[in-house]
Amino acid sequence: MVRGMAAVGAAVCIFVVQLSATQRSDMTPDVQAMLERITANSLRGHLSFIASDALEGRDTPSVGLDIAAEYIAAQFRRAGLVPAGDDGYFQTATFVTSRTPLDAFDLKMKSGSQTVTVASDKVSFNIDRELKIASPVFKIDYNDAATFVALKPEQIAGKIVMTEIPDSRHETGTRRVEMFMARQEFLTKMGTMNAALVISVDRQGYKGSVGGPGRLFDPADRRSRFQPPGAPLMTVHDANAVKFYDSIKLGLTDAEVQVHIPAPVEIPVRLRNVVGVLSGSDPVLKDTYVLLTAHYDHEGVRPDLVGDKILNGANDDGSGTVSVIELAASLSAMKQHPKRSIVFMTFFGEEKGLLGSRYYGRHPIFPIAKTVADINLEQIGRTDSDEGPQIANATMTGFDFTDIGTTLEAAGKQTGIKVYKHATNSDAFFSRSDNQALADQGVPAHTLCTAFVYPDYHGVGDHWDKIDYDNMEKVDRMVAFGLVMIANNPEAPKWNEANPKTARYVRAWNEHHTAAAGTNR
């Protein structure tokens, strides 16, 4: 199905001409009234609840997440959307959380006559298997790049590496991302060198999070379990352990560490995507679907912090969640619904590895071959980007992977929003949100945002009162108009086959549509 470059160019030209006509016809008085129903005050009202302390950061799973799901379902019900789940507006999924019992946890550090025993409440780890090791210690200066580069596998293999990795969670913006990526690079290298375990000491003395929140996975798809890359990591928040670390030399030491992390115990949990549909008005196109999505979870509570402990996630991704709610209400009030059906959906567990969207990809409610697009909304409320103020513009991941970018760009010209491709982040961030799960199924899918990196990203300061609601109103109006343009266009969005980065998605699209064609014979 791959076309030559000349044919692709011709198709693009034809599409632009068709788009102009569609654009003119779509901005009807009914559509204009629909856009005006999207208001900053309404968005503020929704988000001040979704991102309130009462929901305690909407961790997956948590009571706060369940309350958020009920609130979203109530708003879909108010808008008159058709319930599309197996339980009303809910697509229910039984996952498993894997937690480490700590009654048999043991950690001892020995050097000469010195022995340090570390209690389980002084450690943080998220190691999802039994680990029992007694090993010599190899100490590495994390900040000594030259020594790090010169390390050889035989120095590290089978040993416990002790180091001091700075905690990126105490930083904000670009610096936080840079530190996180550096840590992942370090752990990946330790993994390739077959380090048995990396132990990082924390001088700030925060209380440990013990075995972490537990690892979530679908028991019917255990291969999809997210495993962090590289060597396993344990952070120790203990003053005596810091003294032990300071007392040993760099490189291979005469110190030994004994550690036993018990095997995890699996506990079933119920999780829910929230799904409602606005039925299309065209007798044929109503059986095809445009998705508007966002994730409604965040990262919960950090008990190790002093003061504010709740990661409210107002921008990430309360802003996307309330925008889905707002657009559902606005579009459903139109006198004439768009021709294609529009599915409004919020996902659980994005922060745990795109869990809800990947579950939907494996268990689609609407046929994948009939799903023409997914616009996923993420971080559209904050305009105080690390790159400077982002007013009256929006960017999109994988901007030129499909022709949806062209459509939203045209919608932006009609609504006063500049929609553009970010030179470095557009492609790099494509896999980092829920659009990826739909793209893997062959659905043209993108994530739209206002700022890729901003102060308080994944921090306790991401509060609802820091959102630029007037700007979010304008961005949401652009998205709403773009949805109408896609839903009313008889030509479905297409992958840009001339871009080599789309090859895997084109293959998936072809597989689904070939299978659907065979079924319909």
pLDDT at 235: 94
pLDDT attached to residue 213: 59
Mean pLDDT, all residues of the chain: 91
DSSP string for 268-294: EEEEEEEEEEE--SSTTGGGSEEEEEE
Q: Which of 270, 435, 473 is nearest to 345 (CA)?
A: 435
Question: Which pLDDT does position 212 carry in this prediction?
Answer: 57
Quick one: pLDDT at residue 17?
A: 35
Query: What mean pLDDT comes out for the span 310-321?
Result: 98
Which among 275, 277, 329, 297 is positioned nearest to 43, based on CA atoms? 329
**What does the pLDDT read at residue 282?**
98
Question: pLDDT of 410-433, one tens digit each?
Answer: 999 999 999 999 999 999 999 999
Between 55 and 171, the higher pLDDT residue: 55
Q: Parallel, antiparallel, or unpaired for β 289-295 and 445-449?
A: unpaired
Lowest mean pLDDT among 15-29, 116-130, 174-188, 389-403: 15-29
Question: Taking the CB of residue 185, how many other CB atoms lie within 10 A of it?
Answer: 13
Residue 520 has pLDDT above 80, yes or no: no
Looking at residue 11, its pLDDT comes to 36
Q: What is the pLDDT of residues 429-481, one digit of tens each?
A: 999 999 999 999 999 999 999 999 999 999 999 999 999 999 999 999 999 99
Comparing 63 with 9, which gets the higher pLDDT? 63
> Token pair of 164, please?
């001091």
Distance (Å, rounded) from C-alpha 138 to C-alpha 147? 13
d(C-alpha 133, C-alpha 3), whole Å: 56
Per-residue pLDDT at 313 exceeds 60: yes
Residue among 295, 307, 290, 348 at smallest CA distance from 481: 290
**Predicted local confidence at residue 171, as pLDDT:** 72
Task: Report pTM.
Answer: 0.82
Q: What is the pLDDT of residue 26?
A: 83
Task: Supply the pLDDT for residue 442.
Answer: 98
Q: Given this model, what pLDDT does residue 395 score?
A: 97
pLDDT of residue 1: 30
Structure tokens at 26: 């779509």
The amino acid at residue 242 is V
What pLDDT is stored for residue 127 in this prediction? Answer: 85
Q: How far apart are CA 253 and CA 138, in angstroms?
A: 6
Percent of the chain's residues with pLDDT above 70? 91
**Per-residue pLDDT at 232 exceeds 60:** yes
Average pLDDT rounded to a whole number, residues 206-211: 62
Q: Residue 157 has which token pair?
A: 């293999």
Domains of the chain: 81-95+269-519 (3.40.630.10), 101-263 (3.50.30.30)
DSSP state of 503: H
Count Cβ atoms within 10 A of the Cβ of residue 28 and give its class: 0-12 exposed, 13-18 middle, 19 or more buried: middle
Give pLDDT, residue 208: 64
Q: Report residue 354 as tokens.
A: 């795109």
Q: 344 - beta bridge partners?
A: 276, 292
More confident residue, 393 or 217: 393
Q: How confident is the model at residue 12 (pLDDT cuts 50, 70, 90)?
A: very low
What pLDDT is attached to residue 226? 53
Q: Write down the number of H helices and E strands in the chain.
A: 15, 20
Q: What are the pLDDT digits (tens) for 16-28?
A: 434 444 455 689 9
Mean pLDDT of 251-265: 95
Identify the DSSP state of 21. Answer: H
Q: Which pLDDT tens digit goes with each residue over 337-358?
A: 999 999 999 999 999 999 999 9
| Farthest-apart Cα atoms in the chain, separation | 83
Band of the pLDDT at 99, cuts 50, 70, 90? confident
Q: How confident is the model at residue 521, as a pLDDT?
A: 56
pLDDT of residue 343: 98
Give yes or no for residue 211 having a pLDDT over 80: no
Q: What type of residue sits at position 237?
A: H
Q: Please say if the pLDDT value at position 146 is more than 80.
A: yes
Query: Is the pLDDT confidence value at 4 over 50?
Result: no
